[in-house]
Homo-oligomer: A and B are copies of this chain.
Amino acid sequence: MTGSYVIAEVAARTGLTAHTLRYYERAGLIEPPAREWNGHRRYTEGDLGMITILTKLRATGMPIEGMRRYAALCRQGPGNEAERRALLIEHREQVLSRLDQLQADLAVVDLKIEMYAPATGSGADFGRMEDLCSGAQSSQPLVT
């Protein structure tokens, strides 16, 4: 029947390790799930869903603290959907600008790759590498 998983099953389904799941729980990202009589965690389908969305937030670069805040809102129950939404939207904005930056930086790498291209008909001669990237950087924290 749908809806009861021991930690190893959740690990298998979410791609996290059992260790990480416990860590997330300690960190306040996950509701402490119900326990069996012997103390073993029993995760519900809903837990699984929450964990999954958390992994997506993590995968898109949200720091643990942000996840914690989102999880706190969810735990508060209905009524704060606007806040949750705002949190996610702000995160999305950040991801999008990270994506933009990433593509810009990658473009420079691409240019460099072309400079290394074995002599093609296009006659790409070797410019000096420093001509590639002039001007001050964005002085951002170099987030990945």
> Taking beta carbons and an 8 Å cutoff, which residues of A are in contact with B?
12-15, 45-46, 48-50, 52-53, 55-61, 81-82, 84-85, 88-89, 91-92, 95-96, 99, 101-103, 105-106, 108-110, 112-113, 116-118, 128-133, 135-140, 142, 144
Contact = CB atoms under 8 A, between A and B. Distances in A.
A113 B130 contact: no
A110 B92 CA distance: 8
A16 B90 CA distance: 27
Contact of A142 (B15, B88, B105): B15
Contact of A133 (B49, B60, B108, B144): B49
Q: How many copies does the complex hold?
A: 2
A88 B105 contact: no
Contacts of A116: 81-82, 84-85, 88
A54 B8 CA distance: 41
Contact of A92 (B109, B133, B142): B109
Given A91-B109, A103-B99, A109-B60, A46 B130 contact: yes
Contact of A59 (B57, B101, B117): B101
